[in-house]
Every structure is written in C-alpha cells, then in structure tokens.
C-alpha cells in the first residue's frame, strides 16, 4: 500500500505540522492512543513508477485503512522535483537538519513521528530517497518568494502570443536542481489590451443574484446540520464528501438523515442545485487494473446513489489516471465506460468531471480530455464538467489576468462548451502556471491572483453554477471578498 504524505497527514489528522522533510528509509508513526501506523519509504524501484509523487509505504496495523493508489488522486498534495541524481552533501545536511526539526515539531503535537534510520550517504540515498513535507498555509515552507513571483511575472512579459507552447523555465537559484519543465497550453499577449465582451455583462443586481459562491464543508456535525451552517456562514453553494474521502467504505447516510437533510433544504430555501459533493480520492475510473477499476466503479456508483437519496443532482469527481500502463486514449475510454455504468444504475444525478492539474498520470488536465470523455458518454444530459481554477492554471491555462481569462474561457467554450459547465472550484495556486502541481492557495494569495476571480464573478456565464472554495480556513471572509468583486459593469479598473 502506498500513500502520499498529505494523505498520511489526513489519516493521522496531523494539522499542527508546519514543515516535514526527511531523507531516511523508515519512519514510525504513533499517536497518543496507540501505535497506529508505521511506515517505510519505498525504494527507488517503487518510486520509478510514480515519478513526481511523494510516496510512503504504509503498514497499517489495524487493517482498516486502505491506502492503495491514492497518491494519484490526491488534491493539494505536495510534490518535489526528482532530486535523486543531484543531491549534494550540503543539500543532504540540510535535509538532516529538517529531519531534526520535524521531530521537534511533531513531539510538540499530539502525534509523534520518529525517524528510525538516519539520513544516508548520497550513494545509498539514491536507492531510497524521497522528499516529503507538510505545509501549513501561514507558515509555508514551499511557497515561492515574492522575488520568484515577480521574476516569473517579468518573464511572462517576454512570452509569446496565445499559442500552445512548451517552455522550460530555468530557476536562477540552485544549479544542482533540474530545471522544471513547464507546459503552457493557453497564454495571452501582454501587449494586447483587454476589451470586455459586452454579451457577458449584467447589472450588479443580476450578478449578486446569479453568482453562487460557497465552500467545501465538513459533515462531521451530521449531514442535516450542513444547511443551517452554510447559511450562517453566508454560503450560497456547498460541497462535501458523502463518504470518508480516503477509504473504500463508501457512504453511510441513513434514510432518516437523508430525509431531514431534504427538509432542511426546503425549510431554508437552499436549492440542492447549488450542492456538489466531491467523490472519493480513491476512485480511479480509468484504471488499467481490473480489480481497482471494479472497486472504483462500485464506490462511484454508491456515492452517486447517495447523492440521489439526498436529492442532489451534481456529483463531482476526478476522472482517473492511466498509471503509465495504458495510453491516455484507452484510459479515457475506460472513464467514459465507468460513467455509462453508473448512469445505468441511477436516474437523476449528473456526473461532473473535474479538470485536473495533470499531476502524476492524472487525466483531465486538458479541455480535450473532458471533451473526449463526454463524447463517449451515452447520456449527455447527465454528464458535465467542473473547472478548478488552481488545476487549470497549474495545467497550463494562464488565467492570471482578465485577458488570460478571456482567452482560456473562449478556448474552454470552443472545445468543451459552457453548456457542459456544472461547477467551479475557486482556488488560487501555489504552483506556477504549467507546473502541473496541485497545490491550492487562498484566493488572491497565489500565482493566479485577483483578476481571475474578479473576472469570473462578473461574467454571466457563471450564473447559477456552484462556485466552491477549496482553500484553507473558514472561507467566510473569502466568500465576502469574492462578492465584493462584483461591480456595475465589466470594465477593468
């Protein structure tokens, strides 16, 4: 079993860690109750199949947590360059220091992590090395510095007309690091002036009524209490997991809870059409492995049925990963078959495919993938897409300006079509455009920045589409902030 470190963090509920990075071959993790998990970092042999992913092998003592394959689907997981071939002694020493820091941080939290093997010499390290870290939003270990950010902006001014290009950025910092390959799918020309498209303008009142912003919420307090809580927080749209997102167990919502949930919706006049539960991270509906595919399809169907019981018509999920075992085209076919299978056994819920950052072997990072999946789905009335701003940007769609948004959404409309748009995930990005890293950041705090969000809340093509924040924090202020971006007309200020 393998899991990314962010999953480990979630399983163990380690929230207080600000930074974790270690180079060793074994860690043991215990908490106050008992020893629940020990984990061993995989060998390079295992790593090779999962390039760019932080992988930790998990040995689960109580046999209830199944962590197969989830690193491929992990939202907001943290990934480093493959540095195996380039580690220098100073780098190594730095990592050993980080390792010590980790222990001191962890010892102060409720969970204890002990590195049982010291960091090794670079030669040996090549066999076992892995970099892993947790990051807290307000103490980011990996967030780009302002200088890097400005450099990247400056670099953009020299980039090209809006075409599909593959460029290689050369970070000025360490020579020992490989330059990261960055793929830009849609860019814009900085010299071109943004001209608002008048057909998408609306009055301020229409915008305030039409734009439905909210956030992903926890169902810890029970599904029925979700609605009141959303309203108290000023949310007009919500998402949540109908089951534990990192488990194969599936939803366990009883009929009574489903009934009172629906009553709450009616009572508070909160339409289920602004609710879009998120599917399990375990799903791989395009899996090349028969057993995983079957498990994924069963879980997918169970979650969709659960949405139907709750009276919800939108259900959002990540399309899947080819795991380098089959081609993208073959995997896309498998994904479409998975949707067709679920459609046969449901009647009202729409399968909403989320675009991805293209991390690992995830599909859905290009609009063409979404189009091709839809093309193979029999019932087109119950398939749609969810655009995640962080994922789009990381995948190479440059939406860091009004003009960029105009170009990218034109491209989306041309390839997929706004008629298939069912949901939006509003997230800024810690990763730069085209880096293919799925790292969510709070609104306006990342490399996307405020113009994108200002653009979207003023465009009537997003009216009545649930817009869900998947960022850290309570979201109350972020939702208010986003509504404050709604203005009288579409002129750029």
Binding site for Zn ion (CB under 5 A): 354, 388, 425
Q: Residue 272: how many CB atoms within 10 A of its CB?
A: 18
Beta strands in 55-171 (DSSP E): 56-60, 111-115, 165-168
Q: Residue 195: how many CB atoms within 10 A of its CB?
A: 12
Is 119 or 426 the residue whose CB approaches Zn ion more closely?
426
Catalytic residue, candidates 23, 188, 274, 281:
281
| Catalytic residue check, 149 | no
Q: How far is CA 438 from CA 58, 136, 329, 344, in A?
A: 22, 15, 23, 32
H or E stretch at 239: strand 238-239
Is 372 or 470 the residue whose CB approaches Zn ion more closely?
470
For residue 298, count CB atoms less than 10 angstroms from its CB and return exposed for 0-12, middle for 13-18, buried for 19 or more. Answer: middle
Nearest-approach distance from CB 405 to Zn ion, in angstroms: 18
| Catalytic residue check, 425 | yes
Nearest-approach distance from CB 397 to Zn ion, in angstroms: 14
**C-alpha triplet 17, 20, 26: angle, nearest 5°:** 120
Catalytic residue, candidates 69, 303, 354, 435:
354
Is 425 or 445 the residue whose CB approaches Zn ion more closely?
425
Is 264 or 354 the residue whose CB approaches Zn ion more closely?
354
Is 354 or 428 the residue whose CB approaches Zn ion more closely?
354
Q: Quick one: tokens of 268?
A: 């508070």
Q: How far is CA 411 from CA 280, 330, 357, 449, in A?
A: 29, 24, 17, 20
| Catalytic residue check, 268 | no
Q: Quick one: tokens of 296?
A: 């994924």
Q: How far is CA 272 from CA 256, 265, 313, 314, 428, in A?
A: 18, 7, 7, 8, 26
Catalytic residue, candidates 50, 297, 382, 425:
425
Is 425 or 436 the residue whose CB approaches Zn ion more closely?
425
| Catalytic residue check, 278 | yes
Nearest-approach distance from CB 440 to Zn ion, in angstroms: 8
| Catalytic residue check, 289 | no
Q: Residue 480: how many CB atoms within 10 A of its CB?
A: 12
Catalytic residue, candidates 297, 343, 439, 440:
440
| Catalytic residue check, 438 | yes
Give CA–CA dist 434/414, Å, rounded. 21
Nearest-approach distance from CB 14 to Zn ion, in angstroms: 21
Nearest-approach distance from CB 248 to Zn ion, in angstroms: 18
Is 297 or 440 the residue whose CB approaches Zn ion more closely?
440
Residue 278: strand pairing partners: 241, 316
- Long-range residue pairs from 368-373, CB within 8 A, at least 24 positions apart, any chain: 368/415, 369/319, 369/328, 369/332, 370/319, 370/415, 370/416, 370/420, 371/415, 371/416, 372/329, 372/332, 373/319, 373/332, 373/335, 373/336, 373/339
Is 82 or 438 the residue whose CB approaches Zn ion more closely?
438
- The torsion angles phi and psi of 94, rounded to 5 degrees, stand at -60, -40
| Catalytic residue check, 246 | yes
Catalytic residue, candidates 82, 438, 441, 478:
438
Is 20 or 339 the residue whose CB approaches Zn ion more closely?
339
Task: Give the three-state DSSP class for 41.
Answer: strand
Nearest-approach distance from CB 318 to Zn ion, in angstroms: 6
| Catalytic residue check, 391 | yes
Give CA–CA dist 36/32, Å, rounded. 10
Catalytic residue, candidates 54, 82, 388, 435:
388
Nearest-approach distance from CB 103 to Zn ion, in angstroms: 33
Give CA–CA dist 71/408, Å, rounded. 28
Beta strands in 256-301 (DSSP E): none
Eight-state DSSP code of residue 58? E
For residue 406, count CB atoms less than 10 angstroms from its CB and return exposed for 0-12, middle for 13-18, buried for 19 or more. Answer: buried
Catalytic residue, candidates 50, 79, 278, 382:
278
Nearest-approach distance from CB 356 to Zn ion, in angstroms: 8
Nearest-approach distance from CB 26 to Zn ion, in angstroms: 32
| Catalytic residue check, 440 | yes
Which residues are the active-site residues?
246, 278, 281, 318, 354, 388, 391, 425, 438, 440, 470
């Amino acid at each position: 079993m393998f899991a990314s470190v962010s999953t480990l963090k979630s399983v163990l509920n380690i929230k207080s860690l600000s930074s974790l990075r270690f180079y060793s071959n074994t860690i043991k993790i215990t908490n106050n109750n008992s020893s629940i998990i020990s984990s061993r970092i995989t060998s390079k042999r295992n790593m090779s199949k999962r390039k760019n992913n932080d992988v930790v092998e998990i040995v689960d003592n109580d046999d209830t947590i199944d962590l197969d394959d989830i690193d491929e689907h992990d939202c907001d997981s943290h990934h480093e360059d493959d540095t195996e071939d380039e580690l220098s002694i100073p780098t190594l020493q730095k990592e050993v220091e980080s390792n010590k820091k980790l222990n001191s941080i962890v010892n102060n939290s409720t969970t204890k992590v002990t590195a049982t093997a010291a960091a090794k010499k670079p030669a040996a390290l090549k066999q076992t090395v892995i970099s892993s870290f947790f990051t807290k939003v307000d103490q980011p270990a990996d967030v780009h510095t302002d200088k890097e950010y400005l450099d990247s902006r400056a670099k953009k001014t020299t980039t090209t007309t809006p075409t599909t290009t593959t460029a290689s950025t050369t970070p000025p910092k360490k020579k020992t690091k490989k330059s990261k390959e960055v793929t830009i799918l849609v860019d814009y020309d900085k010299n071109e002036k943004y001209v608002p498209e008048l057909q998408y303008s609306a009055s301020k009142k229409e915008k305030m009524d039409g734009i439905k912003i909210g956030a992903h919420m926890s169902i810890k307090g029970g599904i029925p209490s979700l609605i009141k809580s959303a309203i108290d927080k000023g949310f007009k749209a919500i998402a949540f997991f109908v089951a534990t997102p990192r488990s194969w167990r599936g939803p366990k919502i009883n009929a009574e809870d489903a009934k009172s949930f629906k009553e709450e919706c009616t009572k508070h006049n909160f339409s289920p059409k602004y609710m879009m539960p998120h599917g399990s991270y375990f799903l791989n509906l395009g899996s090349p492995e028969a057993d995983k595919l079957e498990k994924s399809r069963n879980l997918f169907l169970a979650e969709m049925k659960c949405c139907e019981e709750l009276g919800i018509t939108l259900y959002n999920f990540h399309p899947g990963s080819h795991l380098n075992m089959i081609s993208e085209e073959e995997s896309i076919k498998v994904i479409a078959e998975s949707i067709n299978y679920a459609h046969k056994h449901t009647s009202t819920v729409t399968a909403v495919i989320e675009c991805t950052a293209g991390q690992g072997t995830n599909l859905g990072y290009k609009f063409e993938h979404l189009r091709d999946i839809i093309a193979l789905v029999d019932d087109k009335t119950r398939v749609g897409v969810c655009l995640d701003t962080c994922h789009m940007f990381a995948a190479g769609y440059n939406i860091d300006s009004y003009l960029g948004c105009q170009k990218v959404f034109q491209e989306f409309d041309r390839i997929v079509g706004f008629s298939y748009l069912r949901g939006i995930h509003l997230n800024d990005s810690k990763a730069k455009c085209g880096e293919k890293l799925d790292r969510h950041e709070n609104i306006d705090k990342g490399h996307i920045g405020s113009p994108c969000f200002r653009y979207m809340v003023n465009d009537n093509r997003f009216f009545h589409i649930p817009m869900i924040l998947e960022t850290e924090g309570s979201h109350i202020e972020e939702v208010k902030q986003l509504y404050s971006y709604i203005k009288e007309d579409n002129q750029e200020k």
